[in-house]
A and B are shown apart, each in its own frame.
Chain A
Amino acid sequence: MSEVGITLDSLLGQLLLGLVNGSFYAMLSLGLAVIFGLLNIVNFAHGALYMMGAYFAWIGLTYFGIGYWWSLLIAPSFVAVFGMVIERSLLQWLYKLDHLYGLLLTFGVSLIIEGTYRYFFGVSGQPYPVPELLSGSTDLGFMSLPNYRGWVVIASLAVCLSTWFVIERTRLGAYLRAATENPQLTQAFGINVPLLVMLTYGFGAALAAFAGVLAAPVIQITPLMGNNLIVIVFAVVVIGGMGSILGAVATGLALGVIEGLTKVFYPEASSTVVFVIMALVLLVRPAGLFGREK
């Protein structure tokens, strides 16, 4: 194989890297799908919230000595509160309007967040160390697995599956699904739908921030990281459709892997392959792989 320049090692390495990226796609598109399901808003600010998570980790470590593990807990909580404030102060006025206004408003919010962070932190990337517990790598025999990357995949899968479990298998999830289906009727049954909506947006924001903290050690933290990622996640969402939680997760992971493989076989196309796949899916199955039109 070496004459074509592809070794098994680099193939597996890229595959893992793709899986890591796919985990981020999965977590972000999951959050988008949950928010869209209940709020009917495509949350453009999702990327900015993800970026806020990463910055929280970095600020916490740099200025307050808060370690990675605490950040993993604190950053999502802070961003969740921030998200709920946004929902109560801005988004709640839009639910009766065309969906497009939600996209436009959250786009504005993402600009405000990005601009503020650019003002305070500039555009150059900040490094974040891999936590000690997860530094180094494990020799699997056929390849060496950097521990941290393995952790990212496992942690994000765990979060995605718990989200699925909560929504599909618990009482709270049943309320949520009922409110998605018919908010008026759910309200009539005595369930506080506006509260549910606020918590849902907060949860989606927390999910984005969690992904941001997870990403901090494997990427350069910049104010631009969120909005650059969100466009790709939109493509992922178009491919998968926003109707199914597991569909969103599976699509995210699969596209990450495909992107990783493209880096090995045809690196020039690696940044566009997701968009090309989106175009193909639109030609073959316009409603998306797991989609149902809302």
Chain B
Amino acid sequence: MTFVRKHAVLLSLVVVLAIAPFLFYPVLVMKVLCFALFACAFNLLLGYTGLLSFGHAAYFGAGAYTTGYAMTAWATTPELGLLFGVVTAALLGAVFGGLAIRRQGIYFAMITLALAQMLYFFCLQAPFTGGEDGLQGVPRGKLFGLIDLGNDDVMYVFVSLVFLGGFWLIDRIIRSPFGQVLKSIRENEDRALSLGYDVDRYKLVAFVLSSALAGLAGATKTLTFGFATLTDVFWGTSGEVVLMTLVGGVGTVLGPVIGAVVIIVLQNELADKVGSWVLVILGAIFVVNVLLFRKGIVGEITARFNRT
């Protein structure tokens, strides 16, 4: 029973994922899963280390583009393609993160945003990223050369496993002694420093882990939909992942997942009906969230639960 209790969240996610494709369009669920993983990776930084990266689309996009390129140009198997994507995102995270952690607070956010925009222009101009069109028609390939991911049902299982793996890893990181140090940095950086922790190194490792997982999310998105476009590296995507985390609940394990469900479903439902108003609605959610609802959905529920 202790196993069940310890992994209650993970196990309930498994159950939900097993039922979901019968109730919803599986491709939509896969999209939600990719963005949920992205938001969880982002939350590792904002929620557990206290670092607001406003350019997380860079790592999502780096994963998306690299995997897309590897699958098309080198015709690699999907697991290798994902690996390339994750490694590229992690390396990029090491470079950008290394620069950004030299400043704190609001400057950190501005630096990550600016660096991500640099990658955006790079993807716009580089000879191998397809410019305005991005990379189109990326094949899903055969997993380990055996399992054909072309089938949507098989792909669904694969994306679910990737998501659950990523989610488990993040949960594991948060609960580890390393995660405790991250939280102490979030609460009081100076005190963590005075206790002898090399704060900058912890921040950098957290940043690299977060970018690697964001890269995994982007890479999986490319495999699922068969394209990587400029939207993946655009600052709007960075904003969306902030919003998902904020809506769901910053610093909660399940919050980013709930937030991703809310935002993606909302976009999906509204895109055809209201056009540009989607942007206005997202902006309004941002405003309401910051003013009235800072704990997010999961955060508010937990707070209410604890009170009674």
Task: Give A residues with C-beta under 8 Å from B.
Answer: 36, 42, 90, 93-94, 99-101, 103-105, 107-116, 118-119, 227, 231-232, 234-235, 237-238, 268, 271-272, 274-276, 278-279, 282-283, 286-287, 293
CB distance from A244 to the nearest CB of B (A): 15
Proximity bits, B255-285, A CB within 8 Å = 1, else 0 = 0000000000000000000011111111111
CB distance from B284 to the nearest CB of A (A): 6
Q: When the two chains form their complex, are residues B283 and A112 in contact, meaning their CB atoms are under 8 A apart?
A: yes
Q: When the two chains form their complex, are residues B284 and A231 in contact, meaning their CB atoms are under 8 A apart?
A: no
Sample 6 A-B pairs with CB under 8 A, ordered by A number: A42-B110, A112-B283, A115-B281, A237-B110, A283-B99, A293-B104
CB distance from A145 to the nearest CB of B (A): 30
Inside 8 A of A103's CB, which chain B residues have their CB?
52, 54, 106, 109
Which interface residue of B52, B124, B283 has the most chain A CB atoms within 10 A?
B283
Q: How far is the CA of A104 from the CA of B283 in the complex (A)?
A: 10
Q: How far is the CA of A287 from the CA of B107 in the complex (A)?
A: 10
Residue of B with least CB distance to A287: B103
CB distance from B98 to the nearest CB of A (A): 9
Which interface residue of A90, A100, A116 has the most chain B CB atoms within 10 A?
A100
Known: A100-B109, A119-B275. A232 touches B286 (CB 8 A): no
Q: When the two chains form their complex, are residues A286 and B103 in contact, meaning their CB atoms are under 8 A apart?
A: yes
Q: Give me the 8 closest cross-chain CB pairs, A-B, nearest first.
A: A108-B286, A115-B279, A111-B283, A112-B283, A115-B280, A275-B118, A235-B114, A118-B276
Among A94, A112, A234, A286, the residue within 8 A (CB) of B290 is A94
Q: How far is the CA of A275 from the CA of B115 in the complex (A)?
A: 6
Inside 8 A of A99's CB, which chain B residues have their CB?
105-106
Residue of B with least CB distance to A267: B125
Judged by a CB distance under 8 angstroms, whether B33 is at the interface is: no
Judged by a CB distance under 8 angstroms, whether B130 is at the interface is: no
Q: When the two chains form their complex, are residues A282 and B103 in contact, meaning their CB atoms are under 8 A apart?
A: yes
Which interface residue of A107, A119, A283, A286 has the most chain B CB atoms within 10 A?
A107
Among A94, A111, A231, the residue within 8 A (CB) of B113 is A231
Inside 8 A of B124's CB, which chain A residues have their CB?
271
Q: How large is the interface on B (under 10, 10 to 19, 20 to 34, 35 or more residues)?
A: 35 or more
Q: When the two chains form their complex, are residues B106 and A42 in contact, meaning their CB atoms are under 8 A apart?
A: yes
Which interface residue of B124, B242, B282, B287 has the most chain A CB atoms within 10 A?
B287
CB distance from A34 to the nearest CB of B (A): 15
CB distance from A101 to the nearest CB of B (A): 5
Known: A90-B291, A99-B105, A282-B99. A104 touches B246 (CB 8 A): yes
Q: When the two chains form their complex, are residues B121 and A105 in contact, meaning their CB atoms are under 8 A apart?
A: no
Judged by a CB distance under 8 angstroms, whether B42 is at the interface is: no
Known: A108-B286, A234-B113, A278-B111. A119 touches B280 (CB 8 A): yes
Q: When the two chains form their complex, are residues A234 and B118 in contact, meaning their CB atoms are under 8 A apart?
A: no
Which interface residue of B117, B278, B282, B285 has the most chain A CB atoms within 10 A?
B117
Inside 8 A of A232's CB, which chain B residues have their CB?
114, 117
Chain B interface mostly = helix
Q: When the two chains form their complex, are residues A272 and B121 in contact, meaning their CB atoms are under 8 A apart?
A: yes
Q: When the two chains form their complex, are residues B283 and A108 in contact, meaning their CB atoms are under 8 A apart?
A: yes
Q: When the two chains form their complex, are residues B291 and A105 in contact, meaning their CB atoms are under 8 A apart?
A: yes
CB distance from B53 to the nearest CB of A (A): 11
Q: How far is the CA of A282 from the CA of B107 in the complex (A)?
A: 11
Q: How far is the CA of A119 from the CA of B117 in the complex (A)?
A: 25
Inside 8 A of A108's CB, which chain B residues have their CB?
282-287, 289-290
Inside 8 A of A293's CB, which chain B residues have their CB?
104
Within 8 A of A (CB), among B86-137: 99-100, 102-107, 109-111, 113-115, 117-118, 121-122, 124-125
Inside 8 A of A272's CB, which chain B residues have their CB?
118, 121-122
Judged by a CB distance under 8 angstroms, whether B239 is at the interface is: yes
Inside 8 A of B246's CB, which chain A residues have their CB?
104
CB distance from A124 to the nearest CB of B (A): 13
Q: When the two chains form their complex, are residues B283 and A286 in contact, meaning their CB atoms are under 8 A apart?
A: no
Within 8 A of A (CB), among B16-52: 52
Residue of A with least CB distance to B235: A231
CB distance from A38 to the nearest CB of B (A): 14
Q: When the two chains form their complex, are residues A238 and B279 in contact, meaning their CB atoms are under 8 A apart?
A: no
Inside 8 A of A42's CB, which chain B residues have their CB?
106, 109-110
Which interface residue of A42, A90, A234 has the most chain B CB atoms within 10 A?
A234
Inside 8 A of B99's CB, which chain A residues have their CB?
279, 282-283
CB distance from A23 to the nearest CB of B (A): 20
Which interface residue of A90, A113, A118, A238 has the most chain B CB atoms within 10 A?
A238
CB distance from B4 to the nearest CB of A (A): 37
Q: When the two chains form their complex, are residues A115 and B106 in contact, meaning their CB atoms are under 8 A apart?
A: no
CB distance from B304 to the nearest CB of A (A): 21
Q: When the two chains form their complex, are residues B117 and A93 in contact, meaning their CB atoms are under 8 A apart?
A: no
Inside 8 A of B102's CB, which chain A residues have their CB?
282-283, 286
Besides A105-B287, A118-B276, A278-B114, 10 new A-B residue pairs in contact (Cβ under 8 A), listed by A number: A103-B54, A107-B283, A110-B283, A111-B279, A112-B280, A115-B279, A119-B276, A232-B114, A238-B110, A282-B102
Q: When the two chains form their complex, are residues B242 and A104 in contact, meaning their CB atoms are under 8 A apart?
A: yes
